[in-house]
A and B are shown apart, each in its own frame.
Chain A
Amino acid sequence: MSTPTVEKHSAALDAAEAGGTELITVTLRIRRFNPEEHADPVWVDYQLEMDPKERVLDALNKVKWEQDGTLTYRRSCAHGICGSDAMRINGRNRLACKTLIKDVNPEKPITVEAIKGLAVLKDLIVDMDPFFQAYKDVMPFLITEGNQPTRERLQSAEERERFDDTTKCILCAACTSSCPVFWNDGQYFGPAAIVNAHRFIFDSRDDAAEQRLEILNDREGVWRCRTTFNCSEACPRGIEVTKAIQEVKRALVTRRF
């Protein structure tokens, strides 16, 4: 039962492992809110010993598991896929599970707060219902006319490429809750809903583009967009959100899609 792998440890790997456990003290400044405790939100500082290569989500977990179990936040996959842990970290919307501590200047306190424009229920948890209502309103599902084909609905690679960018959305609400128009007008559909409408409007297999465009032609639709580019900057998936919104506007004007 000898373990020859031990000898095979390269010097580089040893160095990486030794360096990998270098801990630093970080301050996590979390905007906490508990309506049963106090009507106002309150900033609370937590001191942590963290590896700077860990993520903000690890820091939050550490607070919750080791310091204060009352801290509340959403997370599920922890790998940037489920879209449940969008939050404002150092004033910018990001996924806590995709943000490394070394990237958000751990020398100063790292501020963490709930995303803006949606009602905060507790700590970092917001009421996502209005967000998903806007998503549902653009009918984010395939609508077809005529007879069903006997085999699959064919599409060329170019036709698929047309809306490839907007298929990447994980509905984390980072874009919508970074939009200053949405902060002031909760009736605005918001970038995420428009991105998901774009995904079907430009899908060659879908036949309801007209209907979706009509929905977004509304007073609270695409024309409220001010091309602030906050959404494109906030998107953890790198979707060119503002570009997608502009493409929907152009489709509305030219009626070509």
Chain B
Amino acid sequence: MSKKPTAGPALHKVIMVGSGGVGKSALTLQFMYDEFVEDYEPTKADSYRKKVVLDGEEVQIDILDTAGQEDYAAIRDNYFRSGEGFLCVFSITDDESFQATQEFREQILRVKNDESIPFLLVGNKCDLNDKRKVPLNECQLRAQQWSVPYVETSAKTRENVDKVFFDLMREIRSRKTEDSKATSGRAKDRCKKRRLKCTLL
């Protein structure tokens, strides 16, 4: 009955951010349970955990599905702090939600204080292409400015749902190995980070 050392599979912490109604919960539930939820119910903050196989290695993903509402902005910092990677979601049928990603991005960078935090810009509801309000090239441009990947998904048809979660986990994983190398070896990683920042500027 002694305490087991909780080695277990690696745990990657992902946070869903974005305005309300863009499909954060729908993407999460599709990934977790393979089902599309039609009814819209504002989330407060729900967490999920699941074992998955990432490139042949068993890992755990922890998904925190957050609220998009304004009045939570003040405590969002608290949630963001624990995240290791972010899926920043907007709906391609809603320009306001696209504009809002800017604010989320800034808040994340401020809280995490790290320009190269694993991050994906996700344009959801791509099954509604006929109602598209945000042109594809604008999305790509923004992603380019931020140096992050841009992926379009549909929680309804499951298109790219696995992809965004797995791509993000891969980034988180490589960040972690990089970091551990840095701490065990030299602080040469810091140079790398700085270099990244330079290319950004």
- Are A and B bound to each other? no
